[in-house]
A and B are shown apart, each in its own frame.
Chain A
């Protein structure tokens, strides 16, 4: 005999405004099996939970339905409450009458009717629920951080400080990421390298951190607590443990045509190179596309000059396989390709540069040694025009629909630094809006505009072209409501940032959700911002959304604390909604085994008592620790032996029937 309790939440006015709560309660009371129905303003509050707990005890409820917000929000809350009152937590069903009902329907009659149907379906389902018991799985006490920029480094350092071993996998030859390329950081104008490189050194020297550079994660299997990863360590052609980083090979290498990626391709580097002086590990790498020896078999100069005997032209890619309890994505970003925007003549005029290129030009270790020079003729510019929002807030489809968040601030920084160092240079900035919400950010921007006389022009630029050795910028001044034409020496494009192109591949491997802009989706935008909806996968840095360095560092720390919280546990409770096979029905056909993405199904031959007839049969067995509960096997099973706990055929059929009633 079922004794079902139905609890209808008002969610303040969120539900009550468009759903007639009294009618839902009245309707609930007449559903088969329902012995108790009650409403309350906030069912998730302590008082609300107490109503549920008291009713469970008083009426001896065998199952409950909570009509409230999405189960993704509060299913866990109500399951916990039920369990505290002595009811199996899996005897709880949620009817989502907020996100799927009251918030989208304006007509109260319609909303109420739909809420009643959703409640009916949940009641029909819960009467078929069975008590489930969560199993346990192990936790491998090691974390993997994918990406070695400031986000990955900070996350790894924090995890390592708590005493857990961490591997950082970085696709480039050195850790450091984008921050290493920056000159100064806003709003304090700290030197970027001076605050980053000590952290890089710390990551290298920390005994709990293993750096796996020039490597990419190839395969990930498993689940929270015990992931298995296969990492490809690309051939460097230099023995990492032997190279001293002396740099003699770089000066002798005759192939010097490779574009220097670290300087955004503004100058060239040899085929054997160390990305930058402070690289960690400070070990050379050979660019196999540029190396003469690797391509033609002749040369071998670097091997001759290397006193440490570190060069090895026969090196092959290596594979590392390791188990991890948690994985952090810190795959970072890149600026978008500005050549898509023809109107700014980026691909045709050398003096039109992106902000990250300007960052390298301004940097003391950059291609010009930190002297502001025009890339075309190496002359000192007398006027510079900055164009903001290049590809950001662009709904035309060429750029990105989002605000890249950091551009207003770095443009103000560039403008200020240039005016400070070269007061003779005129600086104009075209902007749509200046967005400076951050600690000391607006003060910083005002300083640029007021103290440093940077000319901020509200409006967009229509065209940039070259004329008689200088650039002409045609734009519009929206405040003066007139077209303006400026002659200038350099144009700087504040290009939008986009997630690193590897993010999608990595996310797919980790089954982490990713949005249409390729940013990784968080489990909850407000309450679980550093976790992916996939258990055991955490997010750090710009892979989750545009952010500046302080935000990245704090998010990295938050992700680390979540990882530490997970790794501290000895056992994890597993999802009990897994597949199970009825051995009396199973005919041992192996269909389910073939579709299982986790290899959770195996076969065993054993003695079965089929209604008094004893027979030895081959039947499917589900490994509950491996099964993730997708249900693929349930549909292929020709004999109907395979079913999914918590989402059984009967339960879903009952829901369908209740909806179509």
Chain B
């Protein structure tokens, strides 16, 4: 084995180092603002988390989460205002109920429960946002790469 080969292997290993893909849905009024506060307070969390802004957590159709898993996401986190604090008064209650159902469905189709999470983060909780994201990413690292959810018929 030449020196170049060793270097190549090292480069390949580095290139192959697994980076989880994590989608975070954040409601515009609380969690997105909480993420902004985490930013302006320079409270870091892994770059694997990519945030999608939605008006309210109740805008998140469970289909979006399934779509993310279908496209190879390793974790999906949905953040909204604390119960009782929803900008639209009741949106996060809908979210809570819908997600309970989705969790059960994800169990059924074999996506680990811990890969999806619902968290309440207020606009003032920058520190909490960062902590939640750090925790979540650590958990996803523990679980490892996700199996892509998909229609086997499409692969034939």
A-to-B contact residues, CB < 8 Å: 70-72, 96, 98-101, 103-107, 110-111, 113-114, 117-118, 121, 508, 511, 513-516, 521, 533-534, 577, 595, 597, 628-632, 634-636, 644, 647, 649, 652-653, 655-657, 659-661
A628 in contact with B29 given A104-B38, A656-B52, A656-B64 (CB within 8 Å)? no
Q: Are A657 and B36 in contact (CB under 8 A)?
A: no
A647 in contact with B39 given A105-B47, A513-B29, A516-B124 (CB within 8 Å)? no
Q: Are A104 and B56 in contact (CB under 8 A)?
A: no
Q: Are A513 and B71 in contact (CB under 8 A)?
A: no
Which of A72, A508, A597, A660 is within 8 Å of B71, CB to CB?
A660
Q: Are B45 and A104 in contact (CB under 8 A)?
A: yes
The answer to the question of B68 belonging to the interface, with a C-beta cut-off of 8 Å to chain A, is yes
- The 6 A-B residue pairs whose C-beta atoms are closest, nearest first, are A99-B39, A631-B59, A515-B124, A660-B71, A630-B88, A630-B56
Q: Are B58 and A631 in contact (CB under 8 A)?
A: yes
Which of B53, B98, B124 is within 8 Å of A513, CB to CB?
B124
List B residues 40-55 near A (Cβ within 8 Å).
40, 42-45, 47, 50-55
A647 in contact with B55 given A104-B38, A533-B33, A660-B21 (CB within 8 Å)? yes
- B81-96 vs A, Cβ < 8 Å mask (1 yes, 0 no): 1001111111100100
Interface size, chain B (Cβ < 8 Å): 52
Which of A628, A632, A656 is within 8 Å of B67, CB to CB?
A656
Residues of the A chain whose Cβ atoms lie less than 8 Å from the Cβ of B86: 511
Q: Are B38 and A117 in contact (CB under 8 A)?
A: no
CA distance A213 to B67 in the complex (A): 55
List B residues 65-81 near A (Cβ within 8 Å).
67-68, 71-73, 81
Most buried by B among A577, A630, A657: A630
The answer to the question of B122 belonging to the interface, with a C-beta cut-off of 8 Å to chain A, is yes
A632 in contact with B32 given A101-B47, A103-B42, A653-B64 (CB within 8 Å)? no
Residues of the A chain whose Cβ atoms lie less than 8 Å from the Cβ of B45: 104
Which of A513, A631, A659 is within 8 Å of B54, CB to CB?
A631
A99 in contact with B35 given A630-B59, A635-B58 (CB within 8 Å)? yes
Beyond A96-B51, A653-B64, 8 additional contacts (C-beta under 8 Å) are: A103-B39, A516-B122, A533-B33, A534-B29, A577-B55, A630-B55, A635-B62, A660-B68
The answer to the question of B23 belonging to the interface, with a C-beta cut-off of 8 Å to chain A, is yes
Residues of the B chain whose Cβ atoms lie less than 8 Å from the Cβ of A635: 58-62, 94, 98
A80 to chain B, nearest CB (A): 19
A657 in contact with B58 given A101-B47, A105-B47 (CB within 8 Å)? no
B-to-A contact residues, CB < 8 Å: 21, 23, 28-30, 32-33, 35-36, 38-40, 42-45, 47, 50-56, 58-64, 67-68, 71-73, 81, 84-91, 94, 98, 122-125, 130
A104 in contact with B60 given A118-B50, A515-B124, A660-B71 (CB within 8 Å)? no
Which of A99, A100, A534, A647 is within 8 Å of B59, CB to CB?
A647
Residues of the A chain whose Cβ atoms lie less than 8 Å from the Cβ of B68: 656, 659-660
Give A598's nearest chain B residue, CB to CB.
B88
CA distance A511 to B87 in the complex (A): 5
CA distance A117 to B20 in the complex (A): 14
Residues of the A chain whose Cβ atoms lie less than 8 Å from the Cβ of B60: 635, 652
Residues of the A chain whose Cβ atoms lie less than 8 Å from the Cβ of B81: 513
Residues of the A chain whose Cβ atoms lie less than 8 Å from the Cβ of B32: 70, 72
Most buried by A among B21, B94, B122, B130: B94
A401 to chain B, nearest CB (A): 11
Which of A110, A516, A630 is within 8 Å of B91, CB to CB?
A630
A105 in contact with B36 given A595-B94, A644-B59, A656-B67 (CB within 8 Å)? no
Q: Are B72 and A632 in contact (CB under 8 A)?
A: no
CA distance A55 to B28 in the complex (A): 29
Residues of the A chain whose Cβ atoms lie less than 8 Å from the Cβ of B23: 656, 659-660
CA distance A632 to B51 in the complex (A): 20
Which of B40, B67, B84, B124 is within 8 Å of A99, CB to CB?
B40
B135 to chain A, nearest CB (A): 15
Q: Are B50 and A659 in contact (CB under 8 A)?
A: yes
A491 to chain B, nearest CB (A): 34
Q: Are A631 and B55 in contact (CB under 8 A)?
A: yes
Which of A71, A521, A632 is within 8 Å of B58, CB to CB?
A632
Most buried by A among B43, B53, B71: B53
Give B22's nearest chain A residue, CB to CB.
A659
Give A109's nearest chain B residue, CB to CB.
B47
Give A98's nearest chain B residue, CB to CB.
B39
Residues of the A chain whose Cβ atoms lie less than 8 Å from the Cβ of B64: 649, 652-653, 656
Q: Are B124 and A597 in contact (CB under 8 A)?
A: no
Which of B35, B47, B52, B56 is within 8 Å of A659, CB to CB?
B52
25 intermolecular pairs with C-beta atoms under 8 Å apart:
A96-B36, A96-B51, A101-B47, A103-B40, A104-B45, A111-B47, A508-B85, A508-B89, A511-B86, A511-B89, A513-B30, A514-B85, A597-B91, A629-B55, A631-B58, A632-B56, A632-B88, A632-B90, A635-B62, A635-B94, A649-B61, A652-B60, A656-B64, A659-B50, A660-B72
Q: Are B123 and A104 in contact (CB under 8 A)?
A: no
Which of B39, B84, B124 is within 8 Å of A100, CB to CB?
B39
Residues of the B chain whose Cβ atoms lie less than 8 Å from the Cβ of A628: 88
CA distance A511 to B59 in the complex (A): 17
Which of B40, B47, B71 is within 8 Å of A657, CB to CB?
B71
CA distance A513 to B43 in the complex (A): 21
Residues of the A chain whose Cβ atoms lie less than 8 Å from the Cβ of B61: 634-635, 649, 652
B141 to chain A, nearest CB (A): 15
Most buried by B among A99, A106, A111, A661: A99
